[in-house]
Structures are given as structure tokens and as C-alpha cells.
Chains A and B, each alone.
Chain A
């Protein structure tokens, strides 16, 4: 009887002390989670206009530079960013620039001073996108 109690009590304690079930509703701190509910992942760095020479002549471009707050990631990972240009209705996946960093440059054709350009950004991996965030940049 004593040995039975000696077996039962630790086992019941083990059962009682287990972490228990995992509530999917509380899991929202991974920036790659489509249900992510943490602080913003994307930060606008700057925007500027540039002229690029091509064989067919110079092309005017607006560069929107932004950064991903990789410190929010729960583990170090590689990733891309999907950019949706709401004004043009274009969607594009871009890689870090330089590679391995958390800096991105989105380049769009043409530019207008004083007109905000809004982008919907989301982390992109494995052919799927995380929560989208919008950033807007205005060329001065």
C-alpha cells in the first residue's frame, strides 16, 4: 500500500504540474503568424527619387527604403517581403538589400512630390504571407 502511494503521488504531481494544453488563440507573438498582434514589424527608413540611365533613355524612379524589425522574431530566420503597391495595384516579393540584412528597397516607376505612396507589406516565406502592414512615404 505504501509503495502504491509512493508510485501514485509523484505521478499525480507530475500530471498536475504539466504545462497543459496550448491555446492557439493566445499564440500571437510570432511576426510570421497571420494573426500576429504585436508591435509593427516594418519601419519606413526613407524615400527618394533617382534617375537611372537605360539604353532607351533615363528612367525616373522612386525608392522607398524600409526595415524589418528582426529583433521581434522569436528565432533568427531568413525571409522575404511581399509588397503591394496600392496605387498601382501591383504585388511584388522582394529580398533584403543587402542580402542577409533586414533592409529592403522598393523601387517604383515615376514619382510625384508631396503625394504619399502607400505600400502594404507583409513577411513572406514558403509561398505564404504573414499579417500585412501599411506604410506610407511622401517624397518632399
Chain B
């Protein structure tokens, strides 16, 4: 209608310009009358043509590939480019793990418009992701922590054992040295310094060996316990409520203009 008025106005301005030169007032009145009639006739015609115009909408949705949308509450689509009637259209966008975005896009007649949609992660997914990371971190500790601990205890025990054997050998060597020595001063030194020192080292090494053996036994028990605990642990399950919400809105078109509202229920199967 507005378009018709615009055409009539332009026509009138052009006619007035021409007729002013002619300076014929009657002719001017006739032309104005004709223009008004033309505007009345052309207005509804133009409106009819505009209502049937289509436009193209190119949807660039992130995350690409998994983005789906519901068009005008009925049609579930994944297409990236759509030809739609001009005017506003309701779009509900969704992608796995993302939040549903409900928006209206305007389609312009005979024009290509691009809509860039960035879907944000849903709160549930963020919470799930946080839980999953915590689970994975704890699981890493459980998986690698105790074996590393046991390996460390084993290495400690091995070193302690080696030191004990070494210290015992040193004591035995000193006993042999006492037996074969023919030096009174050497024997006195042996008994005063060397043997007590070797005894002290043997004592320390044995104590360390027993302690590290205990640590090894404990870490072995911990390893066994943690393994059994770990086998019972379950990772968090992501329940995509946005998906349920989105699918609850879906209209599945059928033949003959019929369709059905779809709803879904997610059952985590373990």
C-alpha cells in the first residue's frame, strides 16, 4: 500500500513539474485525480505481490555440522540455506551440549541474508564437564598415583635391601679382617672405630629396609584397594535437558499436511 502511495506521489511530483510549465490548472486537477485513482488501484496490487515474495536466508550456525533448528515451531531442519516467504520467522536453534536459542529472523524479499548463530554451551553441559574433569583428574590419580607410589616404595625397598646387603658384607669383611690381621694397632682401630661404624650402618640399613618393606606392603594393599574402588566408580553422565526441550518442540511433518509433535526421553544406558 505504501509502495503504491510512493509511486502515486512520484507520479504527481513529475506531473506537477511538467504541468507548471504548461500553466494549465485544469489539466493539473485531471492529472491529480488520475494519480489518486492509480494509487488506489496499484496499492493493493503491490501488496499482493510483496506478500508472495520470497527471500533467502543463509544460516551460519556454530557449531557447524551438528546444529539443528526448528522453523516456525514446525519444521526441524539442518539446512544451511532456506528460501522463505518474506517477513519474520521463528527459529529455535539447538546443537548437542548447547543451549537452545529461540529467536526471530526477518526474511527480506528477493534478498539473501546471512544469519550467524553462535550457540552457547548449556549450563548442564558446563556442570557435567566440570564433573567429568574432576572425575578424570581423580581417576588419573587413582590410576597412576598408587602404582607410582608402589613403584617408588619398591625402588626404595630395593635400594634399602641393597644397602643392607652391602652393610652386611662390610661387617663380614671386617670380621674377616680381624681374623687375618697381624697388626695389634690395626686390630685395636678395627674394634674401636671400624666395626662400630659398620654396625651402625648395618642397623640403619636394616631399619630402612624394614620400613621400606612395610611401605611397599602398604602401597601394595593401597594399590589393590584403589583398584577395587576404581572398578566401582562410574563416570558422570551427561543429561542433555536442552535436547529434551528442543525435541519437545519438534513438529514432524507428514504427508497431506499432517504432522505430529515429537517428544523425547533420554535414558542413560550403562
Chain A interface residues toward B at CB < 8 A: 1, 4, 7-8, 11-12, 14-15, 18-22, 24, 27, 30, 32-35, 73-75, 77-79, 123-130
Contact = CB atoms under 8 A, between A and B. Distances in A.
B220 A1 contact: yes
Contacts, number: 102
B213 A8 contact: yes
A129 B174 CA distance: 20
Classify the interface of chain B: helix, strand, loop or mixed.
Answer: helix
B165 A14 contact: yes
Interface string B15-45: 0000000000000000000000000000000
Given A12-B213, A14-B161, A24-B195, A19 B180 contact: no
Contacts of A30: 178-179, 181, 187
A61 B171 CA distance: 50
A15 B210 CA distance: 9
Contacts of A33: 178, 184, 187-188, 191
The 5 closest A-B pairs by CB, nearest first: A128-B185, A77-B182, A126-B183, A24-B191, A128-B184
A19 B176 CA distance: 13
B146 interface: no
Contact of B184 (A4, A22, A32): A32
A34 B216 CA distance: 46
B207 to A, nearest CB: 10
A8 B158 CA distance: 10
B168 interface: yes
Nearest to B172: A19
A126 to B, nearest CB: 4
B184 A34 contact: yes
Given A8-B213, A11-B157, A75 B179 contact: yes
Contact of A74 (B150, B180, B188, B203): B180
Given A8-B213, A11-B161, A22 B182 contact: no
Contacts of B202: 20-21
B79 to A, nearest CB: 60
Contacts of B154: 4, 7
B181 A18 contact: no
A126 B269 CA distance: 88
Interface string B49-74: 00000000000000000000000000
